[in-house]
């Protein structure tokens, strides 16, 4: 017991130190990373955006960051499967807490998210964001594009999110159309996986529909993604409703006919060749969840994103 500590999120001796908190106790940062606003020496930042005022159906994703952090406690200090490594041994990761927003002035929210994301990206190489509804990806893409230039969008989702807007709407169903129009993403290299709805325009983005995902192997899906995106910079956004409601009931706009968490995690595992510059997990709404099924899925997707990052940093 002498070497063990509690509340590793506050008591960590270094950014790469291992946690010893019991799964059922301790401060619930994401995967027990240090809670801090100090970006000194940081490579990767985990950040929450508790915003859901853009939802078109069931609200509640503002509680997503809390739920994902809580579910991530299941990833104790063992080597993380399937990466077979301590993800943080060579990668300095912090939990930066949550975005500061005024809940009564939603028109100010996009600029607030973008400005705070830029502050993080000025110091860190990689930002993993926990949403929040899918609108938050719009200001995140703006911040990432300001640093990296236009990005390929790799989107796991049941919806295309390409509905028209007037560049002022706060709407989680139109951010992709806006990003294409503003030149923030490159539609020719972008891809949407798991789509189970129709929108008026695809803007030239490659679609892999839900029934195609069902008929393909994980390896085939991953190859379609990597071949299409190529070697340029990419941003990975994961709407939890990409998964079938059997595996992710806690979300605002569930659509039947989606893939299992096992299949999509297998796809993510095979995306290590992509040049992913940033990522997010959105639309976890715990009020509609059961036994943390959706939160666990969201936390696992986020852990896989960090796992891919850790492998790239170590060269394998």
In a domain, 74, yes or no: yes
Q: Which residues are annotated as a binding site?
A: 134, 157, 159, 161, 239, 241
Domains contained in the chain, number: 1
pLDDT per residue as tens digits for the range 37-90: 999 999 999 999 999 998 998 999 999 999 999 999 999 778 999 999 999 998
Q: Using CA atoms, how far apart are residues 154 and 151, in angstroms rounded to an integer?
A: 9
Q: Using CA atoms, how far apart are residues 141 and 176, in angstroms rounded to an integer?
A: 10
Q: What is the pTM of this model?
A: 0.95
Domain extent for 191:
8-314
pLDDT of 5 reads: 81
In a domain, 1, yes or no: no
Q: Using CA atoms, how far apart are residues 205 and 38, in angstroms rounded to an integer?
A: 38
pLDDT of 164 reads: 81
In a domain, 2, yes or no: no
Return mean pLDDT, the chain.
94
The gap between the terminal CA atoms of the chain, to the nearest Å, is 34
Domain CATH code at residue 28: 3.40.800.10
DSSP annotation of 256: S
Q: Which residues are annotated as a binding site for Mn(2+)?
A: 134, 157, 159, 161, 239, 241
């Amino acid at each position: 017991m002498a070497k063990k500590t509690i509340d590793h999120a506050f008591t960590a001796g270094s950014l790469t130190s291992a946690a010893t908190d019991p799964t059922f106790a301790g401060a619930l940062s994401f995967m027990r990373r240090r809670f801090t606003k100090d970006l000194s020496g940081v490579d990767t930042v985990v950040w929450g955006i508790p915003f859901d005022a853009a939802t078109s159906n069931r609200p509640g994703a503002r509680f997503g960051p809390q739920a994902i952090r809580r579910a991530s406690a299941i990833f104790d200090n063992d080597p993380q499967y399937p990466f077979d490594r301590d993800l943080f041994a060579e990668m300095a990761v912090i939990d930066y807490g949550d975005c500061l927003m005024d809940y009564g002035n939603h028109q100010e929210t996009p600029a607030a998210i973008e400005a705070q994301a830029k502050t993080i990206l000025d110091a860190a190489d990689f930002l993993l964001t926990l949403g929040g509804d899918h609108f938050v990806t719009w200001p995140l893409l703006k911040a990432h594009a300001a640093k990296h230039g236009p990005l390929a969008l790799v989107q796991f989702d049941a919806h295309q999110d390409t509905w028209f807007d007037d560049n002022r709407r706060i709407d989680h169903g139109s951010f992709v159309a806006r990003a294409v129009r503003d030149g923030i993403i490159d539609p020719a290299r972008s891809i949407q996986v798991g789509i189970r709805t129709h929108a008026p325009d695809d803007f030239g983005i490659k679609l892999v529909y839900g029934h195609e995902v069902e008929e393909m192997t994980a390896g085939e899906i991953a190859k379609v993604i990597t071949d299409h995106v190529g070697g340029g910079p990419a941003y990975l956004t994961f709407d939890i409703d990409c998964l079938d409601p059997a595996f992710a009931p806690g979300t605002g706009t569930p659509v039947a006919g989606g893939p299992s968490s096992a299949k999509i995690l297998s796809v993510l595992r095979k995306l290590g060749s992509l040049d992913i510059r940033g990522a997010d997990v959105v639309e976890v709404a715990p009020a509609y969840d059961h036994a943390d099924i959706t939160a666990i899925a969201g936390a696992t997707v986020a852990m896989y994103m960090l796992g891919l990052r850790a492998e790239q940093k170590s060269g394998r």
